[in-house]
Amino acid sequence: MDVVSVAVVSSRTEANLIAGLLRSHRLRVGVTADDAGGQEPQLQLQGVHVMVAPADEVVARRLLARRR
């Protein structure tokens, strides 16, 4: 399945909050980071991505723009 990143943040916690917001609007969301499955949290500083399906990208970006 193709996915696109709609946000890159510095922690898994922040990414999970964003994912929760998007899920509350019935979007399917994933969070990914190259942090050894959470075992190396210092690697999250390289970026934690919030991912959605391409069809949901516009809606997700609009929702995220409203939160700023």
pTM recorded for the entire structure: 0.82
Which domains can be identified in the chain, with CATH numbers?
4-66 (3.30.70.1530)
CB atoms within 10 A of CB 39: 7
Sheet holding 29-33, edge to edge: 4-9, 48-52, 29-33
Per-residue pLDDT tens listing for the chain (68 residues): 699 999 999 888 999 999 999 999 999 999 988 755 656 666 556 789 999 999 999 999 999 998 76
